[in-house]
A and B are shown apart, each in its own frame.
Chain A
Amino acid sequence: MGKTLFEKVWDAHAVRDLANGQTQLLIATHLIHEVTSPQAFGMLRDLGLKVAHPERTFATVDHIVPTDQRTEPFSDPLADAMIRELRRNCEEFGITYFDIRSGRQGIVHIVGPEQGITQPGTTIACGDSHTSTHGAFGAVAFGIGTTQIRDVLATQTMAMGKLKVRRINVDGRLRPGVYAKDVILHIIRTLGVNGGTGYAYEYGGEVFDRFSMEERMTVCNMSIEGGARAGYVNPDETTYAYLKGRPYSPKGAAWEEAVERWRSFASDADCSYDDVVHFRAEDIPPTVTWGINPGQGISIDERVPSPDTVPAEEREAVEEALAYMKLPAGRPIKGTPIDVAFLGSCTNARLSDFVEVSKYLKGRRVASGIKAIAVPGSMGVDLLCKEMGLDEIFREAGFEWREAGCSMCLAMNPDKLIGDQLCASSSNRNFKGRQGSPTGRTILMSPLMVAAAAVTGEVSDAREIFEVEELVEA
């Protein structure tokens, strides 16, 4: 009987069994950022411990960093204190830090892959739930808490219980105007926000075979929104082609050896899964959320649910969500007026996202009264976009083109919703208050749908606004 990638990676990195039945698991690569790490370094100092393997930890700044005014000191003294703390900790413990001056700063889940730090067959941990993103490379990547950051810093290991593996197949061909974001929103809508509890999700099938690394990252990124502790795609030629020549990728003879090793981690053809789920790509529509968790999604053509038509046990949740979102029950989601359009976040702020949107946005204008911001996920993405002139296309359309960071995904920086503004957002969470205002509202969607909402001023079907079908057929 063969093994899954998860089992192979787990077995290779299991150091020993712990008394309570968990495993002491080796973490190959540790990523840190300014928000969840300072307390971990504090705990380390309190215990008189050192960083065991500083060469296996990499840092950047993303959550609090402003995306407009970037000169230090930042206007927010708390944000400034946090960035200074991260710099001090990295200097004191000898950790590589991609700060703003390095030109390599960005959202940690975008920086790891683009630097070639994220590699197949490895374990990765980071104090951020969207660490599952790195699973796109065939890594097993966990979001962890601050005490666990301390554990990884002090021992390069953490305590963890083994997960089950659910294989999620998406076969067929996605319809034009349907993207990786729609795939994961559809999966979460179908399996539920806690459907993945106890599982790692292994994504596969024809759609994933054809997906670029960036599309795979978008899907793996939101595994946690489906309750799965990790999500991954088996490594293949697409993975190796992406990694070749990146700053931290193996070079020369070591490259061939690495590829051979990486290949060996892919799930065996005869492995067995704890669960298998199938989707047909043709059944996946452009999907938007209507509620206050990422599982509350519908097709752009559907109506917002009504408490009267859902099963009794869901009624309360639907009522709560509709009241918060201020959406009338039973009405089409299409046509809902928006205030803000946000294209960014670790889910969708990679080069391909901006390339795809720019194809359709060229020559169009953001509707009057709509605040539209485009935030590249890293300084690397920003540079590539500028080389291609994409920033100009966005600016001419009326978007603000910002600098790299988490921005309005979680609003720990100056980018926030005001009052009950409604945001068409390419980010990953539509929780109450998530985008910085206690009454702010979020509708999650693909980048092209964000652009469509920006130009019409309301939730729209990008396929109609940008004539996507016709472009593809022409």
Chain B
Amino acid sequence: MALEKIKLVQGRAVPVPGDAIDTDRIIPARFMKCVTFDGLGEYLFYDVRKNDDGTDKPHPLNDPRYAGASILISGANFGCGSSREHAPQALYRHGFRAVVAESFAEIFFGNCTTLGIPCLSLKRADLRALTAAVEEDPSLPVTVDVEAAAVRLGDREFAGEIRPSARQALLEGRWDPIGELLEGLPAANASLSRLGYV
């Protein structure tokens, strides 16, 4: 299966500050009553973004200065909690193509990678500096460089980290593993027999 090789994500960024932003906050459970992922983008961060009557609360995603941002910046342990892929699906369908944070919860990280959304970790101080710069001028173009594991903004570069297996999968266009797993199906069937499962 030929997939896009994801080396760079370029665009404007929006900071959604805070640590331990969980997947319930990214997409509240009631919006998972659906049989497709279509339309989930609309409900991204719904409860922190909208009042009960559907009007906007103050939130970076409601701030017109950040309209059209494709890179999300957040804090530590981003995406913790529920394994719902609805969270990265909502991010993707809202237009996000990369997430930069101090750290990521593992299931969320894996779910993002499988959708071709790079998740890059930055040190806390660098994240603060990046956030401050973006808040000061949201029109600045930001580059998430998967190959170099770095974030660039103007002439500044912040060295980050991305798990080697994810980095390689993104760079080589293997982030959705289904093709490779299907190639291994005969070997999997042999393992199933050997272990007495079939």
Contacts and interface: CB of A to CB of B under 8 A. Distances in A.
Interface of A: 12-13, 15-16, 18-22, 24, 26, 28, 35-36, 38-39, 42, 47, 49, 52-53, 55-56, 63-64, 76, 78-79, 81-82, 85, 127-129, 131, 143-148, 150-151, 154-159, 161, 193-194, 197-198, 224-225, 227, 229, 292-293, 317, 320, 410-412, 429, 431-434, 436, 438
Given A22-B165, A39-B36, A154-B181, A429 B29 contact: no
A78 B185 CA distance: 35
Given A20-B172, A145-B107, A429-B81, 12 more contacts: A15-B191, A16-B184, A20-B169, A24-B181, A39-B37, A143-B107, A145-B83, A227-B77, A410-B24, A412-B33, A431-B24, A432-B22
A15 B77 contact: no
A436 B34 CA distance: 17
A293 B107 contact: no
B55 to A, nearest CB: 13
Contact of B35 (A18, A81, A148): A81
Nearest to B186: A15
A227 B192 contact: no
Interface in B47-76: 47-48, 52, 76
Given A47-B178, A155-B182, A438-B28, A431 B33 contact: no
B177 A26 contact: no
A230 B195 CA distance: 22
Interface string B83-118: 111101100000000000001011100110011000
Given A147-B114, A155-B185, A431-B22, A19 B174 contact: yes
A203 B192 CA distance: 28
A151 B48 CA distance: 33
A320 B19 CA distance: 10
List the 9 shortest-distance A-B pairs measured between CB atoms, nearest first. Answer: A145-B85, A145-B111, A438-B47, A78-B33, A129-B83, A38-B35, A143-B83, A146-B85, A159-B177
Contacts of B166: 20
A53 B192 CA distance: 10
Contacts of A157: 181, 184-185, 188
Given A227-B105, A431-B24, A13 B195 contact: yes
B198 interface: yes
B32 A35 contact: yes
Interface size class for chain B?
A: 35 or more
A154 B168 contact: no
B107 to A, nearest CB: 6
Contacts of A150: 178
Interface string B135-163: 00000000000000000000000000001
Contacts of A47: 178
Contacts of A159: 177, 180-181
Contacts of B28: 433, 438
Contacts of A85: 35
B16 interface: no
B176 interface: yes
6 contacts: A42-B36, A52-B188, A85-B35, A145-B111, A412-B33, A433-B25
Contacts of B178: 47, 150-151, 154-155
A155 B164 CA distance: 24
A26 B192 contact: yes
B97 to A, nearest CB: 17
B29 A147 contact: no
A55 B197 CA distance: 9
Contacts of A56: 192, 197-198
A413 B180 CA distance: 38
A124 B42 CA distance: 33
Contact of A55 (B177, B182, B198): B198
B83 A36 contact: yes
B80 interface: yes
A410 B89 CA distance: 19
A16 B187 contact: yes
Contact of B111 (A76, A147, A198): A147
Contacts of A52: 185, 188-189
Contacts of B76: 194
Contacts of A128: 82-83
Interface string B5-19: 000000000000011
Contacts of A151: 177-178, 181
B83 A432 contact: no
Contact of A19 (B176, B180, B192): B180
A76 B33 CA distance: 10
A127 B191 contact: no
